[in-house]
A = this chain, B = another copy of it.
Amino acid sequence: MLRITDLSIEKINSLLDSADEFANGKIQRATQDVFVANLFFEDSTRTKTSFDIAQRKLGLQVVPFDITTSSLNKGESLYDTVKTLKSLGIDLAVVRHPKDKFYEELKSIGLPVINGGDGTGNHPSQNLLDLMTIRQEFGHFKGLKIGIVGDVKHSRVANSNAVALRKMGAKVYFSGPEKWFDEGTIINGTYLSIDDLVKEVDVLMLLRIQHERHGEKMKISLESYHRKFGLTVDREKMMKEKAIIMHPAPINRGVEIANSLVECGRSRIFKQMQNGVFARMAILKDALEAEGFQFG
C-alpha cells in the first residue's frame, strides 16, 4: 500500500467495504503470531496511534521502534534498518519518512511496507479514510462536488485525493493562495475563489498549513490567511444544507477554520479520525492476507 492512485476502483471499493465492516463492529484477529513495527521519521499523533490501535484490534504484536534511540544515530541507512527488522522476524512495517518515494529503495527487501506518508508525496491511509468518510455520508461519489482548500503544494493528500475522487466519479475544485499552486497541481480540478467554492461543494476538505514544510518565512499572517482563504463563520453560512467539512488535522484553529466550527454540526473532523482506525485495519488485513496470513 504505497499510493492510493495505484489502486483500481474495485480495489478501493473492496477496502472501503472492509473498513465499513470493522466500523460496524466486526472482530477479526490474526490466527497466528504476526509481528509489526511502525517507523515514524516525522511527528505524528493520529496516523501512528491509529495504526497502533488498528494493529492491536487485529491481534498483531506491535514491536516498539523509536527512531531517536536506534542505530540510525550511528549512521545506519533506512535500507539496512528495514532489512534488519525483516531479519529479526518483523512481518510488516508501517513507515512515515520525509523523503518522497522512500519506499522505492526498500522494494528489494521483500518486506511488506505500508506508506504512512512520504515527503510531500502520498499518504494512502489518509486518502482511504477520507473516501470512507465521504461514502458513509453520501453513499456514493458519482457527481459529488469536492472542494480542496489550502496548502496544496505541501500536502500529501490533496493531489492524491483529487486523483482518487475523480476516478471514483466526483468533481474536484481547488482554492487557496495562488502561489501555493505549482504548474500542474490543479490539473485534476478547477480553481475557484473561496467564496465561490464554499457555495458550490458537497464536501469541503480543508488542508493544514504545514509550517514545518515552509522553508521560507510565510509571507502571509495567519489572521490574514483566515480572512482571505479560511473557513470563517460567515463562509460556513454560505455552504449547502447537507455539505460537510473535513480536515486531516492537526488543525490550526482560527487559521484554516474558525475555532467555533471545528466541532460544529457539519464537521466530520473527529469522525475522520474514528474512521482512520477502521480504514487502517482494512489496509493491514489486506496486506497481510496477500502474504498468506489468516484472520478469523
Q: Write the residues of chain A forming the contact surface with B, with a CB cutoff of 8 angstroms.
A: 33, 35, 37, 40, 43-46, 48-50, 52-53, 56-57, 61, 63-66, 68-77, 80-81, 83-85, 87-90, 211-212, 249-253, 270-271, 273-274, 276-277
Also in contact, A250 and B76, with CB within 8 A (given A88-B50, A88-B273, A274-B89): yes
Instruction: Please state if B71 and A68 are interface contacts (CB–CB under 8 Å).
Output: no
A270 contacts across to B, CB distance below 8 A: 83-84, 87
Q: Which residue of B lies closest to A69 (CB)?
A: B43
Alpha-carbon gap, A277 to B245, bound state (A): 44
Instruction: Please state if B273 and A71 are interface contacts (CB–CB under 8 Å).
Output: no
The distance from the CB of A249 to the nearest CB of chain B, in whole angstroms, is 7
Q: Which residue of B lies closest to A252 (CB)?
A: B75
Alpha-carbon gap, A135 to B183, bound state (A): 61
Alpha-carbon gap, A92 to B288, bound state (A): 30
Q: Which residue of B lies closest to A44 (CB)?
A: B71
Q: Which residue of B lies closest to A263 (CB)?
A: B83
Alpha-carbon gap, A252 to B76, bound state (A): 8
With most chain B CB atoms within 10 A of its CB, the pick from A87, A252, A253 is A87
The distance from the CB of A125 to the nearest CB of chain B, in whole angstroms, is 13
Alpha-carbon gap, A211 to B76, bound state (A): 12
Alpha-carbon gap, A78 to B65, bound state (A): 23
Instruction: Say which residue of B49, B70, B274 sits within 8 Å of A65 (CB atoms).
Output: B49
Instruction: Please state if A250 and B74 are interface contacts (CB–CB under 8 Å).
Output: yes
Instruction: Please state if B63 and A64 are interface contacts (CB–CB under 8 Å).
Output: no
Instruction: Please state if A249 and B66 are interface contacts (CB–CB under 8 Å).
Output: no
Alpha-carbon gap, A186 to B183, bound state (A): 65
Alpha-carbon gap, A7 to B268, bound state (A): 38
Alpha-carbon gap, A271 to B88, bound state (A): 9
Instruction: Please state if A74 and B211 are interface contacts (CB–CB under 8 Å).
Output: yes
Alpha-carbon gap, A40 to B74, bound state (A): 15
3 smallest CB-CB distances across A and B, nearest first, come from A87-B273, A76-B250, A45-B71
Q: Which residue of B lies closest to A37 (CB)?
A: B49
A69 contacts across to B, CB distance below 8 A: 40, 43-44, 48, 66, 68
Instruction: Please state if B88 and A70 are interface contacts (CB–CB under 8 Å).
Output: no
Alpha-carbon gap, A270 to B48, bound state (A): 28
A89 contacts across to B, CB distance below 8 A: 53, 274, 277
Alpha-carbon gap, A112 to B56, bound state (A): 21
Also in contact, A75 and B250, with CB within 8 A (given A69-B68, A274-B89): yes
A46-B84, A87-B270, A88-B276 known, 6 other contacts, Cβ within 8 Å: A44-B70, A44-B71, A52-B64, A74-B211, A76-B251, A80-B250
Instruction: Say which residue of B72, B75, B84, B250 sits within 8 Å of A273 (CB atoms).
Output: B84
A45 contacts across to B, CB distance below 8 A: 65, 70-72, 76, 81, 84-85
